[in-house]
Structure 1
Amino acid sequence: MQIRKLTYDDLPHASALCLDAFMIAVAPSLSTQGVETFAKVAAAQAFADRMEGDNLMLVCVADGAITGLIELKEGRHVAMLFVAPGSQRRGIGMRLMSAALEQVRDEVVTVRASLSSVAAYESYGFALSGDVGEFAGLIYQPMEKRLP
């Protein structure tokens, strides 16, 4: 298992992984608008556009395939974290989170967690930091982690 930066060649696979995991774990609880919003954010071209900015995107590669992805925005906000449905509960999310946290440039890391991922973020040391919110059909729980 290797953690490395996302490359342009990875984009189709990374996008597909995020969409697959999202459709299983998150989409059933959202409106059509929320699913459409996420599909735009997780499109390969949207990833490519964000790669040009201040977003760190890391992937986990196992047996030649991308099994997980994390995106850290502006060195302080987890914008995305997905593990392939067939690869979950094997420590991939924890390894991606640990690698991303090494790159954090602030004392507090934030995330707008999907409701189905709150328990996972709590296991990574995040705590609830506000009320459930909604943006463009995406329902989220604000969370944060204070770093030592």
Structure 2
Amino acid sequence: MEIRYAKQKDVEQITALITHVSELDVLPLFDSQGRREYMSRVIPDIETTFNTNLFDTFVATQNEQVVGFAALRDKHYITHLFVAKKLQGSGFGKALLDKLLAQTRAKHVSLRSSVNAQHFYEKYGFTASEPECAFMGIRYVPMTLDNRLRANG
């Protein structure tokens, strides 16, 4: 496994990865409005993560194939973390999360977890900051990590 900064040339593989993982793990949890909204927002949003003034964006690769994608906005908000379905549970997600958290000194790091990923983040020390929410049919759980505890732990 290699983790490196994402490059513009990775966009096609990143898009395919996010689309595939979303179809299997995320979209089945939404109603039809949520599925449409999610796909109209998440895929176009990939391009914005290449703005290096706002984002730290990484890919995990295996045999030169993108198998993971993660982005941190403004050094405190995780906007994306996806791992190929066949590699979930093998440490790629944790390695990407570690890479994101190494980029920040923020006291708190937050994210909107997909419902299916909530347990992954909880194992890492994130806690739900609100109950499950929905926006235009997109279900998510707002979560926060007290990064001061992580740094001292």
Give TM-score scaled by structure 1 length: 0.93
Q: Percent identity?
A: 26
Shift of 1:42: 3.2
Structure 2 residue aligned with 1:50 = 49
Structure 1 match to 2:21: 21
Q: Deviations over 1:64-115 (max 9, x none)?
A: 1111111111111111111001111110000000000011241000011111
CA distance in 2, matches of 1:56, 1:85: 23
The 2-side partners of 1:21 and 1:84 are apart by 6
Q: Over residues 21-46 of structure 1, what are the superposed CA-to-partner deviations in whole Å (9 max), with x where a residue is unaligned? A: 11101111102222222222332x53
Q: What does residue 95 of structure 1 align with?
A: 95
Question: Aligned-pair RMSD on alpha carbons?
Answer: 1.4
Please list every run of 5 or more consecutive structure 1 residues that lacks an aligned counterpart in the other structure.
none
- Give the letter for the 1:89 counterpart: G
Asked if structure 1 preserves the Cα contact closer than 8 Å seen for 2:49 and 2:57, the reply is no
SS of residue matched to 1:111? strand
Aligned-pair CA distance for 1:14: 0.4
The 3-state SS of whatever aligns with 2:49 is helix
For 1:51, what is the secondary structure of its paired residue? coil
TM-score (norm 2): 0.90
Amino acid at match of 2:50: M
Aligned residue pairs total 147
Q: Which residue of 2 aligns with 1:75?
A: 75
3-state SS in 2 of match to 1:109: strand
**Residue 33 (structure 2) aligns with:** 33
Instruction: Give the Cα–Cα distance (whole angstroms) in 1 for the partners of residues 24 and 66 of structure 2.
Output: 18
**Partners of 1:125 and 1:105 in 2: CA distance:** 16
Deviation at 1:51, TM superposition (A): 1.4
Structure 2 Cα separation of the partners of residues 105 and 51 of structure 1: 21
Structure 1 residue ranges, 4+ long, deviating more than 2 angstroms after superposition:
40-43
Structure 2: gaps (5+ residues): 149-153
